[in-house]
Amino acid sequence: MTVSKALALVIGTVLCTGVLATGCAREHAGTSAQDAHAPGSSSAAPRPAPPRSFPRPLPGVGPVMRERLPDGTRQALVVTGETESSSQAQVVLYEEYPAEGWRAVAGPWPAHNGLRGWTDDHEAGDLHTPIGVFGLSDAGGRLPDPGTLLPYDEDPQFSVSGTGYLGEPLEGSFDYVVAIDYNRVPGTTPLDKTRPLGEDKGGGVWIHVDHDGPTNACVSLSEEHMRALLTALDPDKEPVVVMGPREVLVR
């Protein structure tokens, strides 16, 4: 073999090796780029985390009033007045469930409240219903216990006569009663007249059977809804009533 032929053979071998090496590198680089975007690749962009959910707060009740709920309360009867001076309201019973939060379990039901509406400084005879969060500890009525878990006092003293502010008959209004723990001693019959805040702050504020008109200070529901409420309330869930005009409850 001549020198010129040998030299040509060496140059050709070098060029071939370079082309093969370049092609292999390109093929390897292409494979890496595809792998980088393949599912399961360690270099793939992370998927966004699912949105975090939070327990639902008590509907229609703002942070100020929610702060007044006892820690152990898992039942809340929300009584929402149309306005501060209105004697008509809407009632919904809510229960709290783990993780899910508060959910309506009964209502909405129409109701009446005090003739002159609502107040956060109730006094005896002012014809306003007190605003706030109060326990629901005791029940009673002229009629037999419909099956409530609350202590129930059946007593003929739960009787009333006469007419209401619209001339409607009051008879039967106390057939079923749930005492609102405003200025009273929980754990006693609704008929108990002990007033821890004094007589001038009123008392005897109940949820009772509606007589189709405004009340002195109580909240009234139809007889059907009173039975439903009595059978739903559970003392183990530390039930409360949250009540007041809408503009106050949502604060």
Task: Tell me the mean pLDDT in the region 6-18.
Answer: 40
* Residue-level pLDDT at 5: 43
Does 108 share its domain with 219?
yes
* Residue-level pLDDT at 52: 54
* pTM, to two decimals: 0.78
Residues 104-156 have pLDDT tens digits of: 999 999 999 999 999 999 999 999 999 999 999 999 999 999 999 999 999 99
Q: Is residue 151 part of a domain?
A: yes
Per-state percent for the chain, helix, strand, coil, to nearest 5: 25, 25, 50
Q: Is residue 7 part of a domain?
A: yes
Residues 178-232 have pLDDT tens digits of: 999 999 999 999 999 999 999 999 999 999 999 999 999 999 999 999 999 999 9
Please answer whether residues 190 and 177 qualify as being in contact, where contact means their C-beta atoms are separated by less than 8 angstroms: yes
CA 131 to CA 128: how far, in whole Å?
9
Residues 66-114 have pLDDT tens digits of: 999 999 999 999 999 999 999 999 999 999 999 899 999 999 999 999 9
Task: Tell me the mean pLDDT in the region 164-171.
Answer: 97
Does 134 share its domain with 194?
yes
Range of the domain at 27: 1-33
* Residue-level pLDDT at 241: 98
Does 71 share its domain with 23?
no
How many structural domains compose the chain? Answer: 2
Does 240 share its domain with 160?
yes
* Residue-level pLDDT at 143: 98
* Cα dihedral value 144, 148, 153, 159, nearest 10: -60
Q: Is residue 198 part of a domain?
A: yes
Does 92 share its domain with 212?
yes
